[in-house]
Structure 1
Amino acid sequence: MTTTTQPEEIASEDLSDSLNTTMMRRILASSFLGSMIEFYDFILFATAASIVFSQVYFVDLDPGLGLFLSFTILAVGYVARPIGGIVFGHFGDKIGRKGVLVTSMMLMGGTTVAIGLLPPTATIGVAAPILLTVFRVIQGLAVGGEWGGAMLIALEHSPKKRRGFAASFANMGGPAGAVLATVVMSVFTLLPDEQFISWGWRIPFLLSAVLVFIGLIIRMKVHESPIFQKLQDKADERKVPLLEVISKYPKNLILGIIAGMSSYTVQGLMTVWGISYVINSGLDSTHVLWVKALGAASTVVVVWFASQLSDRFGRRPVMIVGMFIGAVAAFPVMFMLDMSNLWVFAMALLITQGLVQGTIFGPFGAFAAEMFPTHIRYTGASLVYQTSSTLGAGFTPMIASSLVAIAGGSLWLIAVVWIAVFLIAILAISFVKEGRTADLEGDMR
């Protein structure tokens, strides 16, 4: 994973003063598109797990068990994300951000195409779900390495007063990828059910090859982070970034993970388990997917504004507002889900996926990055982000299904747990030092 740099061009663009330069626009576009493509692939799997995989890879099982196993494989990908953050973060901190980003994108694209070509269980037997699990693990590793690099390449190029906004382009790319994945998949759900289950669902996975090709063209034109370049001559001194993160910054790591879990709990609950719940309650799957796309689009908009507010008021105040709204909305949202009405479900998604998740998620990139020094920032920020996603979203669909069973079919217990997650997150973030004015090139707390 080698990189080339052109300091003269960077200097001529005067990147330190503005986001409105040719190179900075290219960097932000690369951050956004790279994250969008990676999460298109990752969320595409989540959508298919909700509506397809139980009918393709677990056909001889009880439908409820098949859906549970689909969610289990989905969770495996989330478990792999922190591992990907560690592995790619190690090389990103020692070799550079750019080369790691190119590698992660190629790995994700190739794996997603392989899923689109994977024969059903009826054709190759138990090898099908086993391979599906392996491919999901690879997806998790790839997306685990993507976000940290995409976020840092933007943040470390940006002026100090715009760091939150610059870092948010990677965060906006995630829900944008979810919009794209949901829209593409929903188009193919218009096919007759037999054709959709037979081959229609595979086309969105195969289209990933085109997206990756476009993303690589843009990403190859981006320069290495100038802050990281200053440390390249000390690469041999940076032995194992992970050990330093754990030994010197355990408090930041743990508190950052707890804070991030709140946003991802919303995502796992509403965009995976919630989708399955309302479809099984009788709502049309195509209509539900279009509503899901609307919810993801609203996340992009809120992230845009929340990140800029965090540049003005700080990361913590903005995130706490989102967490508070989430706690207050828990019972009303569960009541809205139980109504099994499409428009009410759309409103629930706009509140949770848009307002709550977007408000927390907007400042989260800069929040995670500002907790660690440059030489371990890729590893530290990735661990915070990916572990919070694993604990917050990876297991939520399975936990939610279990809570519904415990409560005898009622959703009140989910609301109670949801409120607890937000309140604990508010407590955790109150112990984190505000990083809006932190010097990224100096010693961090």
Structure 2
Amino acid sequence: MTTSFGELDTESLRDRVAGQLARSRARSTALTDAVDENDLVKQHSKLMSPLVWDFAHIGNQEELWLVRDVGGREPVRDDIDNMYDAFQHPRSDRPALPLLSPAETRSYVQQVRTKVMDVLASTPLEGRKLVENAFAFGMIVQHEQQHNETMLATHQLRDGEPVLHAPMPPAPPGPVLDKEILVPAGPFTMGTSVEPWALDNERPAHRIEVGAFVIDKYPVTNAGYLEFIASGGYDRPQWWSEEGWAYNRKTGLRAPRFWVRDGDRWLRDCFGVVEPLVLDEPVVHVCFYEAEAYAAWAGKRLPTEIEWEKAARHDPATGRSRRYPWGDEDPGPEHANLGQAHLRPARIGAYPRGESPLGVAQLIGDVWEWTSSDFHAYPGFVAFPYQEYSEVFFGADYKMLRGGSFGADAAACRGTFRNWDYPIRRQIFSGFRLARDPGPEETR
């Protein structure tokens, strides 16, 4: 999508949607074809669904919204709606359900997709909010891509020989200066009212007065995190919140998830390959409490969600908010590490063309970045098209993550996109960067 997306003629819009649907399905297929049937039906962690559940759930959501609602067609399989309703069955219980077999699942999602393409070809993409600018189709594209990232996390949790492979991300083109950047005080437009496929929690655009703050140019790296571990950071309660310290003691945290101790050094299990840490890669698989403790140890703090988005989108030269740090154009491989093109974060400094106007780098892709904010609605929020997408999650139980990861797709990642999860989650592709309040001499 581009800013002129809503100006496409109907046939061009249909072509764009068809391409996005095909690209999403190619990822789903690759992630499920990579393993045998036993791995597809197995629950690799109680935190995750069996891969075969995710794939059928993708198809069921597509059927509910596009075949039945948008298309008004007869159901393909209305007998399975309850089984693939994420609100009816927690992940830990899903393996006990009479799930469709892998063969049945593949047949089902293909039947649904065939009907969807017929609906796309025949539906007027106007006259109803759900189909204006093909919103319902875009919602389903994003839903599938979000589950593709979830399935990628399941692959990280599975035991066995490596089955996923990808080239290394690009290396930094030159020397890297890891520095802090002052974001001056002033108004900022947060959220969006014009992005055609933006989800309800990203809306509406609203003006906020933001105080000056300092933010790190790059996310925290493995090298930086090693210093925290070496200093005894996991054993010193002064760096941890009360909730974080209780979780630390309960679970025996010692390092980011998937780090492996080897004598006096740490290694990392990356999709079944145990390898030395790449020191200048952003640290990944840390929970909010770990990020919060590291920030306190470093004498800083996590940015608020507002600060993160201002650092990512605000253009001080024009006062407007961009779609992405680099501008309004869609992400390309020169801008960010997205779409599972590389199965790891890129080293800091790898994407100079993706920097914001103020010079903050790698805000999009690589790792989801924890912020200090809870998940709340924007002023003027309206649930659409259903309350269960966002509204039921509002409150202090969830912390906000921003920016996307190497496992996220550009269709489900933009400067306004909001992600949320419990503060204990570590299986997700999460990292963080630091912020602080500026001193008086810095804002004169």
**TM-score normalized by the length of structure 2:** 0.25
Which has more radius of gyration? 2
Structure number with the higher helix fraction is: 1
